[in-house]
Structure 1
Amino acid sequence: MSEINAEQVAHLANLARIALTDEEIEHLTKELVQIMHAVEQVSEVATPDVPPTNHPIPLQNVFRDDVVGHTLTVDEALSGAPESDGSRFVVSAILGEEQ
């Protein structure tokens, strides 16, 4: 992999419309070189017989049983509503249109 240089960093910053000072370009160039070296090291270690993983420990979801419990009646649900029409909540239109 080729080294990234300050001119390339300045060019990328220009493409992204990011104004960088010379000091920032120098700092970012050093950081990007370190990142590229780290990627190279990982690429050297990765072998075709090792499957890619997103987590080192197998995970599984833990769900509780879906058991029907106490539910609110319509009257209980609407009891705290500022406005209702008997069976539904009444809310103002958000798009400026009455339905």
Structure 2
Amino acid sequence: MSVDKATVAKIANLARIAVKEDELEPLAGELNNILDWIEQLSEVNTDGVQPMTSAVDMSLPWRTDKVTDGGYRDKILANAPKAAHGFFSVPKVIE
């Protein structure tokens, strides 16, 4: 795949990036180098290679999936300027 100046200008426009006319040609060359490198990666044989999320084999700790209210209502409402019936009380903003 090859990228030309017109394609770079279109990509820049879609990304809302201001690119000067004299910068289009060097950017096209850089994008072509990146695409060539990606094509080289597709040639690597990955048969039998397990997908991984980290370079270190580890497992995440699991916790029980239960719903709680936190139990901190009184502590949280103590910081509120005004509270009513266990909730924050705010002034009416819509008339």
TM-score of the superposed pair, with normalisation by structure 1: 0.58
Task: Return the structure number with greater strand share.
Answer: 2
Aligned residue for 1:47, secondary structure, equals coil
Q: For 1:1-99, what aligned pairs fall within 5 Å after superposition?
A: 2-14=1-13, 16=14, 18-62=17-61, 72=72, 74=74, 76-93=75-92, 96=94
Secondary structure of the residue aligned to 1:45 is coil
Amino acid at match of 1:39: I
Whichever residue aligns with residue 2 of structure 2, its letter is: E
Following the alignment from structure 1 to structure 2, what is the Cα–Cα distance between the partners of residues 53 and 72?
39
Contact 2:12 2:18 in 1 (8 A): yes
CA distance in 2, matches of 1:62, 1:22: 53
CA distance in 1, matches of 2:11, 2:86: 59
Bigger radius of gyration: 1
Matched AA of 1:26: E
> Structure 2 regions of 5+ residues with no counterpart?
65-70
Give SS of 2:91's match: coil
Residues 51 and 9 from structure 1, CA distance in 2 versus in 1: closer, same or farther, beyond 3 angstroms?
Answer: same
Q: Quick one: distance in 2 between partners of 1:27 and 1:77? A: 57
Aligned length: 88
Structure 1: which 5+ residue stretches go unaligned?
66-70
